[in-house]
Chains A and B, each alone.
Chain A
């Protein structure tokens, strides 16, 4: 079973809204829909086999992007849910990226996110998931990604995101204070940013995880917003695109990570939205649909979600609102009554 069987046969868009060119004249809306829908339809594709180890996240990227584009019904809900159920590890409760692979907190979050979008959490053993997450916390408050013991601030984010989506009280499931302390120990004093471990270089993707973590644990007051905001704004390059670290090239996925962090911090207005929009749109593949990391490169499903997600944060017309902390449609958050903390625009 794979992504191929999740895509329903393409119909002639009989019941889909017609393209409104005046609203999204620069966004190749239907090409992207088609790109995501067809993603992985070719099972013999070498790329498809090579990326099996992150399939669960791949599905989350596709499902979320399509939902933001109001086209979720193009994927077959039931077969996706059946696939997810088969990936839950009966021993640990965690989710593998694909059958035959091993459970990991990254894919556990992706699985839970997809099930929340489909309003289908009752289909899996949620208590086992909670136990899995609890079992990964260490004495210093950090989280392992799986039983083999790598520590990373990404896993701290995954842990609190999973528990929040499962509507579990953080205080009674994990040691929140210690978890917060660990994340704060990964804050770099030279720039206010965060890395993967204490002392590791500040990195926009990991900043998103740490800011998201503080948003979910309602500890945003611990952030030095002026310092971190400065660093995040410096990510914008003359092309309008954002990079993830100093001296690096711009990349569409950092549009999401930087923008989402600034949104949570109430400082979205600190970057030039128009120039960023132009950059993101320049990374569309005009022929196949989908977004690439940079203008002219080949598109992939990962950059497609983060391109669409960033455009949604920028208020692009024709896209549903997206929640900056959890990178999921806002209506799903409203249905689940989940309200991650965000700071007011000053």
Chain B
């Protein structure tokens, strides 16, 4: 390339980047970015802006990226103190470069430096990272940047519902989206008041995306977290429909009220020592797990066998069995709450292997019933729940 055409090329790239920047300045409500497949330069601006959607024609993406990349690397050769002062220029190139290639951590780092020097506004940055996620819903860099930005805000100033909405959109657009679901866990742990809404939303998602196992895993974490937080909904405790059905299925016994359920699932425990909140949460969360077991069975009948149905049913079963065992042996182990450390978890696993399921009517019936679901399931039960099928009722 001779110097004239080189120069022409640079001017063209600058023009396109300026066009994009104008859109950024004009429209603070941009909601999506896409590179639009086009083969030829049609001799008009390749920057397309329609109803808060921004597009760049693909023929120029390479050139524009190369140019922005070269310019940014040039700025980076200066000291941080110097280049952060040119924030307007930097931002122009950063926006374009990161929208085209969101994986370049060095470019995200420049934004962080600009934020630290108060050269960029928090809200604009959150919006920008959302825009990146509209193009690449799996971008861990964008999620990590959001977490970093939020670290400067107080917990109650953050719109956590909005954050869940972003996770949901990204998960919806890209199946088994590891980073979106990890981010959602982070949101949940920071905003436990979302538990109730999340219980409804996560089921909806699982029903809509039957093979997105990441959503099932999130649901497992959610139920465990709800139990850790002793969460329950009072109006649900009168019904416990799914838990009653599960008990009826295993024991062929009609149960009516929560007190009866507790007597069947946790015979002889010191209810006062465990505490009312934990017991209520036990009933509520076990009902959720029973609901999920039923959901998996129903889905299997409708769609045929799937790994996600099988794995989630197992995880839900494991939840119920473990919480029963924990409360039944809590006075022995000195803990009623779920294990907090890996060492406690190991101790509990050892305990599970030695636990005498046959001494408890409900667990004995559960064990017997589960043993009828095939040799692989039996093997899983003995490995993960410590069921000993050689002895006793089964």
Contact = CB atoms under 8 A, between A and B. Distances in A.
Nearest to A147: B109
Interface string A78-109: 00000000000000000010001110100000
A77 B160 CA distance: 52
A201 interface: yes
B182 A248 contact: no
Contacts of A46: 62, 65-66
A189 B105 CA distance: 33
A5 interface: no
B194 interface: no
A185 B185 contact: no
B104 interface: yes
A224 B353 CA distance: 13
A100 B104 CA distance: 12
Interface stretch (B87-95, B214-222, B243-251): B214-222
A100 B106 CA distance: 8
A187 interface: yes
Contact of A49 (B65, B105, B318): B65
Contacts of B185: 197, 199-200
Given A200-B185, A201-B214, A226 B106 contact: no
B220 A248 contact: no
B291 to A, nearest CB: 17
Interface string A218-231: 00001010110010
Interface residues on A, range: 35 or more
Given A53-B106, A149-B148, A185-B342, A247 B383 contact: no
Interface in B47-100: 62, 65-66, 69, 73, 76-77
B66 A49 contact: yes
Contact of B307 (A146, A184, A201, A247): A247
A190 interface: yes
B181 interface: yes
Nearest to B319: A190
A110 to B, nearest CB: 14
A190 B315 contact: yes
A161 to B, nearest CB: 20
Interface centre among A100, A187, A234, A246 (most CB of B within 10 A): A246
Interface string B210-234: 0111100110110000000000000
Among A46, A181, A189, the one with the most B-chain Cβ atoms within 10 Å of its Cβ is A189
A148 B112 contact: yes
Nearest to B210: A247
Nearest to A230: B383
Nearest to B211: A247
Interface in A236-287: 245-248
B383 A246 contact: no
Contact of A247 (B103, B212, B318, B346): B212
Interface string B275-291: 00000000000000000
Contacts of B383: 226-227, 230
Contacts of A195: 182
A316 B111 CA distance: 47
A203 interface: yes
Contacts of A344: none
A246 B213 contact: yes
Given A187-B342, A248-B176, A53 B103 contact: yes
Tell me the interface secondary structure of chain B in the complex.
helix
A25 interface: no
B178 interface: yes
A210 to B, nearest CB: 12
A96 B105 CA distance: 11
B331 to A, nearest CB: 22
Interface in B112-130: 112
A21 interface: no
A169 interface: no
A181 B342 contact: yes
B32 interface: no
A50 interface: yes
Interface in B328-357: 341-342, 345-346, 349
Nearest to A47: B62
Contacts of A148: 109, 112, 144, 148
B213 A50 contact: no
Contacts of A54: 103
A50 B65 contact: yes
B178 A203 contact: yes
Nearest to B101: A50
A199 B221 contact: yes
B384 interface: yes
Contacts of B103: 53-54
B139 interface: no
A217 interface: no
A150 B182 CA distance: 13
A215 interface: no
B182 A196 contact: yes
A100 B109 contact: no
Nearest to A146: B105
Contacts of B134: none
B173 to A, nearest CB: 16
A159 B187 CA distance: 28
A263 B211 CA distance: 29
Contacts of B311: 190-191, 246
B90 to A, nearest CB: 14
A190 B342 contact: no
17 contacts: A49-B66, A53-B101, A53-B105, A54-B103, A102-B109, A184-B342, A185-B342, A190-B314, A190-B384, A196-B178, A201-B218, A222-B346, A245-B213, A246-B213, A246-B307, A246-B308, A247-B212
Kindly list the 8 A-B residue pairs having the minimum CB-CB distance in the complex, ordered from nearest. Answer: A184-B342, A201-B217, A101-B106, A246-B213, A247-B211, A53-B104, A46-B62, A190-B315
Interface of A: 46, 49-50, 52-54, 96, 100-102, 104, 146, 148-150, 181, 184-185, 187, 189-191, 195-197, 199-203, 222, 224, 226-227, 230, 234, 245-248
Interface of B: 62, 65-66, 69, 73, 76-77, 101, 103-106, 109, 112, 144, 148, 151, 176, 178, 181-182, 185, 211-214, 217-218, 220-221, 306-308, 311, 314-315, 318, 341-342, 345-346, 349, 380, 383-384
Given A46-B66, A102-B105, 14 more contacts: A49-B65, A52-B104, A53-B103, A53-B105, A54-B103, A100-B73, A100-B76, A189-B318, A189-B345, A189-B349, A191-B311, A222-B342, A246-B213, A247-B308
